[in-house]
Structures are given as structure tokens and as C-alpha cells.
Amino acid sequence: MSTNYEGYKSPLSTRYASKEMQYLFSDQKKFSTWRQLWVWLAEAEKSLGLEITDAQIAEMKANINNVDFEAAAAEERLTRHDVMAHVHVFAKQCPLAAPIIHLGATSCYVGDNTDLIILRDALDLLLPRIASVIYCLKEFALKYKSQPTLGFTHLQPAQLTTVGKRACLWIQDLLMDERALRRCREDLRCRGVKGTTGTQASFLQLFNGDGAKVKELDVKVTQLAGFEKPYGVTGQTYSRKVDVEIIAALSSLGTSIHKMCSDLRILASRKELEEPFETTQIGSSAMPYKRNPMRSERCCALARHMITLFSNAANTHATQWLERTLDDSANRRLTLSEAFLSADAALLTLLNISQGLVVYPKVIERHISQELPFMSTENIIMAMVKAGGDRQVCHEKIRVLSHEAGAQVKQHGKDNDLVERVRKDPYFAPILNHLDTILDPTTFTGRASDQVDEFVSEEVEGVLANYKDALKNIQVVQLNI
């Protein structure tokens, strides 16, 4: 009997998230980055005069990706210290470099700097995904910018809008998410080399009290790691406020995804709009006719998880006493990875949805026809007044006919026949030749179509211009499950 199915596996890795995002939070990425950081530290220390040889650095470089995970796990069982376990294993693989590996550093030198590198790379992966969703929704909005549809307030039919204008509401939320995550990416810095409590005391000893060299070491390692600046001050760790800002932005993205996909689910229940549905897809095990919006439901499920993770990051930062406490460690292992893996999975699914949204105009028109007669009453009154009628008399006529039509709908389940009642009433004879124009749904959507064009040109295109390369060849997303 295989034991492969007897241990817990995260559905984020087995079902949902991309291989690229999974790799960023893998042991291989983590521990090879630790080794890379030890190389960068040695290179920077050597350049500033410490006795480190080219041969030692070359030996370390040759083994960056050659991580012996089993040996490291065995060492950690003995030492109960993950960083020292990897120092020992790396040192055995690099006997020449063993004396200078991790020289002057504390565990957070590799741990925190690696986390920051992974956060940076993960943001770099997510941002083009958001841009791709925005691009697809932009194309959808332009295509349907003039398609009238019922607007809803309180989940009750309200004044008409257009299908494209509604999509712009989703886009606007995602633009705010892109801005928030881009700011997180732009603000991200390196922890650098700060020592055990952030004072750089150990490095000051290494350089015989030369503070300028210690500061230069901090900058050199930061630049080697691909960051522009280090954080000016840290405790033992970089401030967990950084995690709060990033997880807050991802949680906020979750609210946008949930809102949009909830809208899609509502519209799918009305048969006005559908997400992609494959020819072999089964909607229900018991009801073969069903076309359930499972992609949107998945997005909502993942988004709710993203939203809840904010409290973890916030509480972790709030309880980091003085220079640091270690109760952040286990929590961050879960929170940081799951926030990004969930966001990655939700965005990939949302991109798949956005690439294949199906609109049913005839269904939308039928729904409009059921509600528009009531909404058109004011226009009918105005037209009658222009034709010489009395506003108060017309209002009473419309009121009576509307209640009669409403009774047909609510009490007898029939279609709204207000328009037919108006046509048959001799009082409205002066406007009957213009009634179709008065009831044209496109005259009830205001500036919705123009708003789509203006919004796309003034706000959307400028953001998408930052992702030109990523948007050149957007791949059609195929969901594995």
C-alpha cells in the first residue's frame, strides 16, 4: 500500500497554485538563497579587506544549489537550530570555506533577507497576473460598453447600466490592488547585515571599529541581493510591519476578487452571464443539466482565506516585543506562503474566467423588458406633458395602470403588461407613435458607454503600459482541476 497518500498535503500545492509560485516558497529556493547570501557576505567582506580567498568563495558558489536536505534535517534534529544545521552541512561540503561561512552574521541575516527576496520575487510574479486580468476585463468592457442591463441596488432591479460599465467597477478595484502591491514592491528593502539586535556590533568587531566599512558592507550586500536600499534600522529582524503592509494588500485583493466573483455568481444564476464551461465539465453529480460557476466559487473560497490572513500578520507584528520574539516564526511560515499561493491561485482562476466570459444578450433583454415599463413611467409622463397633457392627471393614470400590471406579475406570475395597458388606454394616444423610442433601453443608460471609454483611456491604459512585455502574449490559462 502506498504511503504517498497518508500524509497531509496542501491543496495550494496539489490543486491550485502555479509551479512558479510554489517554487518561490520551496525548500530548494529557501536554502539555496541562504547559501547565496553567505556567498554575497563573503564577497563583500573580502572586498573590504577581510582575509577571505577567491578559492573559498569559488567553493561556496559551486555548492549553492547542491543542498543535502537529509543531512540538514539530521543536523537540525540534533541542534534544534535550522540555520546552524545548514551552516554545518554547507561547511562539510565546502571545507576550504568552512571557517568563514556566516562570518559575523546572525540567523536573521539569511532568514530575513531570504524572506525579503522571496517576497520581492513573489510580488514580481503577481503584478503581471493582475495586469493580465485587468487587460482581459478591459477588452470585455469595451465590447459590451453599450449593452444595456439592469442595474441593482439592494439586490433589487434599479436604473439600467451596461454590461461593460459594470465590468469597469471590477477593473477599478483591481487597479487599486495593483497600485497597493506595486507600492509594496517599490518600498521593499533589504535587511542587510545588522547583527543580533540590529546594532552591527559583531561586524564592527570584525572591522576593528571601522564604522564606515560596516556601513559599506551593509550597502554592498544589499546591492548584491538586488535591492536599492537596506532598512535604516532593524531589531534582530526587519520590522514585521513590512509583512503587515504586504498581507494587507493581498487581503484587499481578496476582497476585490470575492466581490467580482460574487457578482458573476449572481449573474450566472440569472443566466445573463457565464464563466467558461468545458464540453466535458460536469456541473452536478445529481443534476446533469447544471452549469455551476465553480471557477467563481473557487475564487471566492480562496479570497476568503486571503482576507483572514491579515489578522495573522497584524497580530504577529503587534506582539514582537522589543528587538524580536520567536513566536513570529511558525506563524509567518504559514501566513506568507499561503497568502501568496492563494493570491496566485485566485488570480490564475480569475484570468481563466476573464478570458472566456459569455454574455447572453437575449436573456438580459428579457429581464429588462420585465422591469423597464415601471422604470419608464417618468419618461412617459414627461412625453405626455410635452404633448400637452396634465402632469397630475398623467401621474394618476400611470399609477393605476402600474398597480394593475404589478398585480399581474406578483399575484398571477404573468409578464409585466404595463406597456400594453398604456397602448390600449386612449389617454396616451398622443405619444403612441413615439412609445418604442421612449422605451428604448439605450436611452436609460445615461453616460455609461462614454464612461467606459473615458475610464479605459484615462485610467486603465496608463497602468497597463507598465506591463507591455507581459501583456504581449497572454497565455490562455488552462486549469488543471
Distance CA 205, CA 196 (A): 13
Dihedral of the alpha carbons of 241, 245, 250, 252, in degrees to the nearest 10: 120
Local structure of 273: helix, strand or coil = strand
Amino acid sitting at position 219? V
- Residue 176 dihedral angles phi and psi, to the nearest 5°: -65, -35
From the list 294, 302, 296, the residue with the least C-alpha distance to 338 is 302
- Beta carbons of 144 and 162 less than 8 angstroms apart: yes
Distance CA 453, CA 460 (A): 10
| Residues recognised as catalytic | 154, 284
Local structure of 265: helix, strand or coil = helix
Residue 422 backbone zone (phi > 0: left; psi -120 to 50: alpha; other: beta): alpha
HSE of 256 in the Cβ direction (CA atoms, 13 Å)? Answer: 26
Distance CA 364, CA 327 (A): 54
Amino acid sitting at position 297? E
- Is the sign of the CA dihedral 331, 335, 336, 337 positive or negative? positive
Cβ contacts of 422 within 8 Å, gap of 6 or more: 380, 398, 401, 428, 435
